[in-house]
Amino acid sequence: MTEQELLDPGRAPSRAGVLRAAGKIAELLPQTPLLPLEIEGRTIWCKAEMLQPIGAFKIRGAWHRLSDLTEAQRQKGVVGVSSGNHAQGVAWAARRLGISATIVMPSNAPRAKLAATRALGAQVVLYDRAAENRDEIAARLTQESGATLVHAYGDPWVIEGQGTAGVEAAAQLEARIGRGPDRIVACCGGGGLAAGLALACPAADIFIAEPEGWDDVLASLEAGEIEGVPDLSYPTDCDALQTPRTFPINFAVLKARVSGGTAVTPAEVGAAMRLVFEKLHLVVEPGGAAALAAVLSGRVEATDATVVTLSGGNVDAETFVRMIA
Amino acid sequence: MTEQELLDPGRAPSRAGVLRAAGKIAELLPQTPLLPLEIEGRTIWCKAEMLQPIGAFKIRGAWHRLSDLTEAQRQKGVVGVSSGNHAQGVAWAARRLGISATIVMPSNAPRAKLAATRALGAQVVLYDRAAENRDEIAARLTQESGATLVHAYGDPWVIEGQGTAGVEAAAQLEARIGRGPDRIVACCGGGGLAAGLALACPAADIFIAEPEGWDDVLASLEAGEIEGVPDLSYPTDCDALQTPRTFPINFAVLKARVSGGTAVTPAEVGAAMRLVFEKLHLVVEPGGAAALAAVLSGRVEATDATVVTLSGGNVDAETFVRMIA
């Protein structure tokens, strides 16, 4: 696979693809709960994706992608690129389908994520997040082996799969309050989840939350073209959202559908994690708390039918304790 | 209400009552998830009751009890007795039904539980856990006002309501593995949950877990008659399970149905809380982790269709951090 093929996968993600993926996911996994959380007298609805078997929504896109591979493709294996949650999603789906998986992961990924990915039977290839280009490493690995690259966000199947969280949340909110979401606030790294949710819920306004220093998608939307993160060594605890730049197929959807968003500070992320601990009794990782942090900050307003993604819970105990202190 | 009336509520809890309660709960609340957890190659199934709106299963029994009160009874209010989770259950149900609620709580209850009970609009009356008899205080309060006492476990409605967790879990496990539970391990304070689960699931063997020093139900089962906790000042973090003695209507069910159980140490409880944090991304309070701790200890064996209650998640951050360290 050349870099050009990676940048242009030959098709755009579609709402029909999201709905097809939702049917596959419904057969595979129970729905994650949509939990009410009262913030200053207003109830917002939290999609608890840390309760997925791998502790994050990434299982959705990985399953949609891998289960659509042909028998010939399955024989040659898959290569994933991820700080950890997509890694586990690909490894989980690969093990279930009997496909061999290699995952390119940053050497400073949380220990819990590295261990969990290996425990799922995947081979892990480490790289230096500040000095190496992970997409180049992955492209080289796929060229050598003929394996299929399963990108963490720049892939139409992956985007469609992540969107299934929106299909579920819309039905769950409808059952609780009689209507679907008019606003969705999504944690945003490369924009796979946000783009998927936008396709899943055409009537909802989409807002995104990125960590301070890694708000390249917000910058790209403002500039009207894709811009990368200026400083790849900028420190953040939101490892799940540390993506150097979004991809054209994500950006096309986000440009058309995102209404706004904000970059959240470490203190705001910590406050959101603590609130989720106290009120929902859930463990949310820093990157998974960004959307709620955006609402708590007041810079993204909630409506009476707002869904917020709590997108993952894979966090080391030491980091968790420090963040909620 | 005299002490005699408290000890003999006039009817025993029944399986029919559990099923009627399950119908009421199904209209009120979404099911809590039943989550798989792999322990040494065997999957056990965890009922995640900390995801209830009040963070514990106690909302079930309180709702069944309060929603069955007559209009005349509702006018006179209710009195509850609880270290915190039943308190919140009664307060939640009372607010929803427009009933005034007074809760007798120990002065050393977790701050989070005291604050949450007051936030739900209940009046809180504090007592000294080591020196005062909470049931006497509650009986006096009901005699003065004509309010209905809603005991935390010695009440047929409360037992039936708690059993609805078993009705849900049985259906969820059936959907996942094609059969219901053959074994249920329950956290046990006064025995309301364990008795309710026993009635809900007549084909399952029932095991109970109590905290070290507060294993009066296990001692009672061994003695063949109700025995109280010998030392009410024995220290434990499992505040939710600190009950001085079980009641006759609980004991009648438990004596007939409990197959075994164990007392768990603080270290075993902490290990269970940490495992739930790491693998399920849930916050379980010490008392809510006792059943899982019993399985992890090896003293209660799991089968291929074992359900374990994770019964609550209301824990102060400081305690949580100390326990998972």
Q: What is the CATH number of the domain that holds B220?
A: 3.40.50.1100
> Do residues A137 and A240 share a domain?
no
Rounded to 5°, angle at Cα B293 from B292 and B294: 90
Stretch B8-14: mean pLDDT? 87
Q: Is the pLDDT of residue B2 over 60?
A: no
Contact B283 A284 (CB under 8 A): no
CA distance B143 to chain A (A): 35
> Do residues B169 and B31 share a domain?
yes
Under DSSP, the state recorded for A72 is H
- CA proximity to A60, closest of A197, A189, A186, A172: A197
> Do residues B233 and B277 share a domain?
yes
Does pTM top 0.80 for this prediction? yes
Q: State how far the Cα of A240 lies from the Cα of A158, in Å rounded to an integer.
A: 16
* Tens digit of each residue's pLDDT (9 = 90 or more) over A27-74: 999 999 999 999 989 999 999 999 999 999 999 999 999 999 999 999
What is the DSSP code string of B176-218? HHSS--SEEEEE-SSSHHHHHHHHH-TTSEEEEEEETT--HHH
> Do residues B295 and B182 share a domain?
yes
Letter string b/e over residues B44-74, b meaning 16 or more CB atoms within 10 A of that residue's CB? bbbbbbbbbbbbbbbbbbbbbbbbebeeeeb
Stretch B185-213: mean pLDDT? 98
CA distance B205 to chain A (A): 26
Contact A281 B284 (CB under 8 A): yes
> Do residues B200 and B267 share a domain?
yes
Under DSSP, the state recorded for A304 is T
Question: How confident is the model at residue B13, as a pLDDT?
Answer: 98
Domain boundary among B112, B132, B150: B150
Mean pLDDT score of chain A: 95
Question: How confident is the model at residue B81, as a pLDDT?
Answer: 87
Which one of A33, A36, A278 has the shortest CB-CB distance to B112?
A278
Rounded to 5°, angle at Cα A225 from A223 and A230: 75
Contact A317 B277 (CB under 8 A): yes
Domain boundary among A104, A124, A150: A150
Q: Is the pLDDT of residue B5 over 80?
A: no
> Do residues B166 and B260 share a domain?
yes
> Do residues B311 and B224 share a domain?
yes
Query: Which residues on chain A are in Cβ contact (under 8 Å) with B32?
Result: 33
* Tens digit of each residue's pLDDT (9 = 90 or more) over B247-271: 999 999 999 999 999 999 999 999 9
Contact B277 A283 (CB under 8 A): yes
Query: Which residues on chain A are in Cβ contact (under 8 Å) with B30?
Result: 33, 172, 176
Structural domain including B171 reads 3-56+158-324
Contact A283 B281 (CB under 8 A): yes
Count of structural domains within chain B: 2
Distance of CA A14 to CAs A152, A172, B108, B211, Å? 17, 22, 56, 54
Taking CA–CA distances from A54, the nearest residue in chain B reads: B279
Query: Has the ipTM of the complex gone over 0.85?
Result: yes
Domain boundary among A90, A125, A150: A150
Contact B33 A33 (CB under 8 A): yes
If interface means Cβ-Cβ distance under 8 Å, which residues of chain B face chain A?
Answer: 30, 32-33, 35-36, 48, 50-51, 53, 55, 112, 172, 176, 274, 277-278, 280-284, 313-314, 317, 320-321, 324-325
> Do residues A186 and A299 share a domain?
yes
Quote the strand ranges of chain A, DSSP E: 34-39, 42-48, 78-81, 101-106, 123-127, 148-150, 183-187, 205-211, 258-264, 306-310
> Do residues A125 and A194 share a domain?
no
* Tens digit of each residue's pLDDT (9 = 90 or more) over A75-114: 999 999 887 899 999 999 999 999 999 999 999 888 888 9
Q: Is the C-alpha dihedral spanning B218, B223, B225, B229 positive or negative?
A: negative
Distance of CA B265 to CAs B85, B110, B238, B244, B283, Å? 22, 20, 10, 18, 19
* Token pair listed for B14: 């029944």
Beta sheet of B148-150, edge-to-edge order: B123-127, B101-106, B78-81, B148-150
* Contact partners, residue B16, CB within 8 Å, separation at least 6: none
What are residue B303's phi and psi, to 5 degrees? -105, -170
Contact A283 B284 (CB under 8 A): no
Question: How confident is the model at residue A109, as a pLDDT?
Answer: 86
Contact A281 B283 (CB under 8 A): yes
* Tens digit of each residue's pLDDT (9 = 90 or more) over A247-303: 999 999 999 999 999 999 999 999 999 999 999 999 999 999 999 999 999 999 999
Distance of CA A144 to CAs A122, A141, A148, A221, B127, Å? 18, 5, 11, 36, 72
Q: Is the pLDDT of residue A222 over 60?
A: yes
Question: How confident is the model at residue A130, as a pLDDT?
Answer: 82
> Do residues B133 and B167 share a domain?
no
> Do residues B229 and B252 share a domain?
yes
* Tens digit of each residue's pLDDT (9 = 90 or more) over B31-70: 999 999 999 899 999 999 999 999 999 999 999 999 999 9
Bridge partners, residue B37, by sequence: B44
> Do residues A198 and A210 share a domain?
yes
Taking CA–CA distances from A280, the nearest residue in chain B reads: B51
